[in-house]
């Protein structure tokens, strides 16, 4: 596959993400439509955003598969699968907390090849292909140069189900807070990955994630120079329920902390 093909895929992802972002920013439909769990919200805007994204993808690539957070799988026996989170950070959106976004990735041959995340309401557009650099808007982005945990700022997230992994992460939150300049919890995995990619934070870890949470952001982080693994330092998969991302220099120190709990 040549870069021109990837650029065309990227154009489709950008068009779909921008269309969805417009819907979200103009929407007043913050009324909860349903619950996937006790506190896991879905609004009418989630559904409207996802419908717009899928319509654009299918109009350009009708034979491709789609894996979307709200509507599930559309299978066409293709080697290409679009992975869609139409509104990452729905709880933030419902509460007017300004930290949510749209995430679209294209998966091919066991690899994410295109990733787009739009951070809202700021409209910062993060993008990459697996053979290009990463950008925020028109600017190249790179991970930070921080080389000590003591000088670092980290970010994490917590799942909606307060079971074993949630309890472990509470302990990890304390451990990392004790040895860094701080740990933030924003509520959007896609944006956390992009903030790591652009050096706004130095590292990120989280349990209980789904492919649509991490597919696009993980590629953007990787192409910006990040190291991405599971908690043990082994190969990362978007289908595994954990991710560790850092600027490489902090990876081993972070694993040393994680291993105290996992």
Are 202 and 247 in contact by the 8 Å Cβ rule? The answer is yes
The set of residues, in sequence order, having a beta carbon less than 8 Å from that of 162 and lying 6+ positions away, is none
Token pair for 13: 């992802």
Structure token pair of residue 143: 């991970």
pLDDT in tens, 64-103: 999 998 888 888 889 999 999 999 999 999 889 999 999 9
Residue 23 CB neighbour total at 10 angstroms: 20
Q: Which residue has the higher pLDDT, 151 or 5?
A: 151
pTM recorded for the entire structure: 0.94
Give 159: exposed, middle or buried? Use CB within 10 Å, 0-12, 13-18, 19+.
middle
pLDDT of residue 33: 52
Judged against a pLDDT cut of 70, whether residue 40 lies above it is answered with no
Q: What gap in Å lies between CA 100 and CA 179, rounded to an integer?
A: 28
* Dihedral sign, Cα of residue 141, residue 201, residue 23, residue 128: positive
pLDDT of residue 19: 98
Q: Are strands 203-207 and 154-157 parallel, antiparallel or unpaired?
A: parallel
Q: What is the mean pLDDT of the chain?
A: 93
Spell out the residues 6+ positions from residue 213 whose beta carbon is closer than 8 angstroms to its own: 85, 88, 103, 189, 190
Q: What's the rounded mean pLDDT across residues 200-207?
A: 98
Tokens of 73: 């799988």
Residue with token string 């009324």: 31
Q: Which residue has the tokens 């091919």?
A: 108
8 Å CB contact between 191 and 90: no
Residues 261 and 254 sit within 8 Å (Cβ to Cβ):
no
| Mode of pairing for the β-strands spanning 80-88 and 65-68 | parallel
Residue keyed to tokens 């080389």: 147
The reply to whether omega before 63 is within 30° of 0 (cis) is no
DSSP 235: B
| Structural domains of the chain in order of their starting residue, each with its CATH number | 3-140 (3.30.540.10), 149-258 (3.40.190.80)
pLDDT score, position 184: 97
The closest of 51, 55, 49 to 27, measured between CA atoms, is: 49
């Amino acid at each position: 596959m040549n870069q021109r093909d990837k650029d065309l895929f990227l154009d489709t992802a950008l068009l779909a993400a921008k269309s969805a972002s417009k819907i979200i920013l103009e929407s007043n439909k913050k009324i909860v439509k349903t619950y996937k769990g006790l506190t896991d919200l879905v609004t009418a805007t989630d559904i409207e955003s996802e419908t717009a994204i899928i319509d654009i993808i299918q109009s350009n690539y009708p034979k491709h598969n789609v894996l979307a957070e709200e509507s599930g799988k559309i299978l066409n026996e293709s080697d290409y699968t679009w992975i869609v989170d139409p509104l990452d950070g729905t709880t933030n959106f419902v509460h007017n907390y300004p930290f949510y976004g749209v995430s679209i990735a294209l998966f091919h041959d066991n690899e994410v090849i295109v990733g787009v995340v739009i951070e809202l309401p700021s409209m910062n557009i993060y993008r990459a292909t697996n053979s290009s650099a990463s950008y925020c808007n028109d600017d190249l982005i790179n991970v930070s140069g921080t080389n000590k945990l003591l000088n670092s700022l980290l970010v994490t997230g917590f799942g909606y189900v307060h079971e074993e992994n949630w309890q472990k992460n509470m302990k990890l939150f304390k451990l990392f807070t004790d040895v860094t300049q701080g740990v933030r919890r924003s509520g959007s995995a896609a944006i956390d990955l992009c903030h790591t990619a652009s050096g706004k934070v130095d590292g990120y870890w989280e349990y209980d994630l789904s492919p649509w949470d991490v597919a696009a952001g993980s590629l953007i982080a990787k192409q910006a120079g990040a190291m991405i693994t599971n908690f043990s330092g082994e190969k990362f998969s978007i289908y595994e329920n954990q991710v560790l991302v850092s600027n490489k220099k902090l990876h081993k120190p972070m694993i040393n902390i994680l291993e105290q709990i996992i």
